[in-house]
Homo-oligomer: A and B are copies of this chain.
C-alpha cells in the first residue's frame, strides 16, 4: 500500500517544505488539479528533481486528447497521470498508449461515473494501472465517503489495482486499509495538519 499526498492548496515552496518534512512517509506526491491550473508542469519538474525517490502523479483529469495530454505529463517527468472515467474509451486508450510508450502509469479517476461497477469492469480491461474511487471535494460536505465505492470497485477488478480519494482522514483510514487499496490519497488532512510530519507518519503506519 502506498500513501499519496494530494498537494492542492499550498504554494510550490510550501509543497517542497512539506515533502521534505514528511520524507519517508509519503510514497506519491500528487500535483493536484488546481496546482496544474496555476503552474502547469512546473511542480512536476520541481518535485522530480528535488525528491527523486518519490513518485509524482499529475492529477490532470484528462477528458480528451488522451495521448497528447498524457505525453505532456510524462515528458515533464510524471510517473502517473490521471484520466477521467467519464471520458470516451478512445481517450483512455490514448492515455494508456502514452504510458506504455514512456514506461509510466495511468490512474483512472472514477469521479461522477454513474454505473461504477460496469464502468470499472470496462476500464479494467483497457490496461490501466489504477482505478481510483473518488468522492468529489464539492460533494464531501454531503457526508458521502469513498469506502462504499471502493467495495464496489474491488469486487470487479481483475487487472488494475484500486485507489481511493476524497476526504480520507485518520479516523476513516483503517476501514479503507481493511477493505484494501493499493493507493490511499490524503489531501487536507496532511496539508492542513498542525504537525504535518507526525500526521503523515501516523497515516503511513496504518497502511499494510
Binding site for B on A (CB under 8 A): 8-9, 33-34, 36-42, 58, 60-61, 63-66, 68-69, 72-73, 76, 84, 86-88, 90-91, 94, 111-112, 114, 136-139
Q: Judging by beta carbons under 8 Å apart, are A112 and B88 in contact? A: yes
Given the known inter-chain contacts A64-B138, A112-B86, A139-B88, please indicate yes or no for A37 contacting B34, CB distance below 8 A. no
Contacts A33-B64, A84-B86 supplied; 14 other A-B pairs, CB < 8 Å:
A34-B72, A36-B37, A37-B41, A38-B76, A61-B64, A63-B63, A63-B84, A64-B111, A65-B137, A66-B138, A68-B137, A87-B112, A87-B136, A88-B112
Q: Judging by beta carbons under 8 Å apart, are B136 and A90 in contact? A: yes
Please pick, from B34, B42, B91, B112, the residue contacting A138 in the complex, using a CB distance under 8 A. B91
CB nearest neighbor in B for A34: B69
Given the known inter-chain contacts A61-B63, A112-B86, A139-B90, please indicate yes or no for A40 contacting B34, CB distance below 8 A. no
Using Cβ atoms and an 8 Å threshold, which residues of chain B touch A58?
37
CB nearest neighbor in B for A138: B90
Max chain B Cβ within 10 angstroms of own Cβ: one of A58, A87, A94:
A87
A114–B63 alpha-carbon span in the complex (Å): 14
Using Cβ atoms and an 8 Å threshold, which residues of chain B touch A8?
65
Give 24 pairs: A residue, B residue, CB < 8 Å, sorted on A.
Answer: A8-B65, A33-B64, A34-B65, A34-B68, A36-B36, A36-B37, A36-B40, A37-B40, A37-B60, A37-B69, A38-B40, A38-B72, A40-B40, A61-B61, A61-B63, A63-B63, A64-B136, A64-B137, A86-B86, A87-B136, A88-B138, A90-B136, A90-B138, A91-B138
**A51 smallest CB distance to B (angstroms):** 20
A139–B91 alpha-carbon span in the complex (Å): 8
